[in-house]
Amino acid sequence: MFGIYSLPNWAYIVVTLGLTHITILCVTIYLHRHQAHRSLDLHPAVSHFFRAWLWLTTGINTKAWTAVHRKHHAKCETKEDPHSPQILGISKVLWQGAELYKMEAKNSETLKRYGQGTPDDWLENHIYTPHSNKGYLIMLFINLVLFGFPGITIWALQMMLIPFFAAGVINGIGHYWGYRNFDCPDASTNLFPIGILVGGEELHNNHHAFPTSAQFSTTWWEFDIGWFYIRILSLLGLAKIKRRIPKMIINKCKQRIDIDSLKTIIKNRYQILAKYKSSVVLPVFNKAKLALKTCHIQPTRQINSKKSAYTDLKMVYRLKNQFQEIWTKTTTNNNEILEQLHKWCINAEAANITQLKEFVIYIRGCT
């Protein structure tokens, strides 16, 4: 094989998986969570390692990647979004995601507006940026020296990983297909609850709901391996976590929403909407479905129950839409929003639906 190491076939697979996994971690921890969203700080030694590894394996420019991603969040699912499958089509984003990124990375206005705060040191200005295409050639040489001809295959897989999985799969399928924990205004989805293959980026809907959180998993049955590594770095003193998904404290003794609880509600609106869906919409929907099933068995006796169930279902959906509209009006101030919330609570209680009454107690208790 003409390399320093001659390995069995299975070992080459392990090496390839290990090397590509490091690249994935560089993207999700350094580029995404640290640079683009500032959800954590990294020790300079860790940050420099990530930058060097990305230069060797992808040629990605930190400022360009950060700027394009921030623009994606700012203009999500609009014509200005650099890579929305809702606008450009899933096939184009999936298979040409890397080309879409490169095209937007050449936009000087995007770099100027969204690329603030990225590295601007000697390494960036004299090595990484002007010689972005040299790094992966050095990586090819290293692979050849270490593994001989199999190193070419390892290198090729390294080069294909990020363009396809990050630029294609996450930016494409992650806005097209999957499950949603939160009703964000965009089309983001979670591809799979176990985020290992793409470093936790599979939990894309969670990320769009809480973009500044260093942790992407939001339920006990989701796993974000990127967060797992961040926790290890934090314990070693190599990372400082700045932001996580906020946890609400509920005081059931509160009888009225105040300014503090209003701020909590707005800050955690996607969590609260998810709570509304699980604790109000779903039980009322199941009740309506049960009424429909039993209606043909005892039609005379069940007809009123069916009407009542569907009336309740329409009511909870109407109140859900009204609840969402309260904070989407940009012209209203906090006092006006507070008053609208008070009225919404009164209307919800007047509906005389047990689940709605319990939800009103819940949001009044937000602190």
**Residue 328: pLDDT band with limits 50, 70, 90:** confident
Average pLDDT, stretch 305-325?
A: 83
Answer whether residue 313 shows pLDDT above 70. Answer: yes
> What is the Cα–Cα distance from 277 to 51, expressed in whole angstroms?
42
Half-sphere exposure of 316 (CA within 13 A, CB side): 29
Stretch 304-319: mean pLDDT: 79
DSSP 8-state class, residue 34: I
The answer, as to whether pTM is greater than 0.85, is yes
Going by DSSP bridges, is the β-strand pair 40-42/239-241 parallel, antiparallel, or unpaired? antiparallel
At position 286, the amino acid (one-letter code) is N
- Predicted local confidence at residue 15, as pLDDT: 94
CA triple 143-146-147, angle to 5 deg: 75
Q: Are 320 and 347 in contact (CB under 8 A)?
A: no
Q: State how far the Cα of 178 lies from the Cα of 44, in Å rounded to an integer.
A: 36
- What is the residue type of 180? R
Residue 223 three-state SS? strand
User: What distance in Å separates the CA atoms of residue 182 and residue 235, rounded to the nearest whole number?
Assistant: 30
CA–CA dist 70, 338 (Å, integer): 31
- Angstrom distance (rounded) from CA 107 to CA 165: 23
pLDDT at site 288 = 78
Only one residue has tokens 């996580």, namely: 244
Six-digit token string for 3 = 């390399």
Helices 269-276 & 354-364 angle (0-180, nearest 10): 160
Over the chain, what is the mean pLDDT? 90
Query: CA-CA distance, 93 to 164, in Å (whole number)?
Result: 10
pLDDT (tens digit per residue) in 97-153 = 999 999 999 999 999 999 999 999 999 999 999 998 899 999 999 999 999 999 999
Residue-wise pLDDT for 216-245, tens only, equals 999 999 999 999 999 999 999 999 999 998
Percent of the chain residues topping a pLDDT of 90? 68
Where do the domains of the chain lie?
9-241, 259-364
Predicted pLDDT at 104: 96
**How far apart, in whole angstroms, are the C-alpha atoms of residue 27 and residue 286?**
42
Within 8 A by CB and 6+ apart from 341, the residues are 257, 262, 265, 326, 363
Q: Are strands 194-195 and 223-224 parallel, antiparallel or unpaired?
A: parallel
Distance separating alpha carbons of residues 223 and 208, to the nearest angstrom:
17
Average confidence (pLDDT) over 165-185: 93
Is 263's pLDDT higher than 90?
Answer: no
pLDDT at position 81 is: 97
Of the candidates 204, 175, 209, which has an alpha carbon nearest to the alpha carbon of residue 192? 204
Residue 117, phi-psi category: left (phi > 0), alpha (psi -120 to 50), beta (remainder): left
User: Does position 53 have pLDDT exceeding 90, yes or no?
Assistant: yes
Amino acid, single-letter form, for residue 336: E
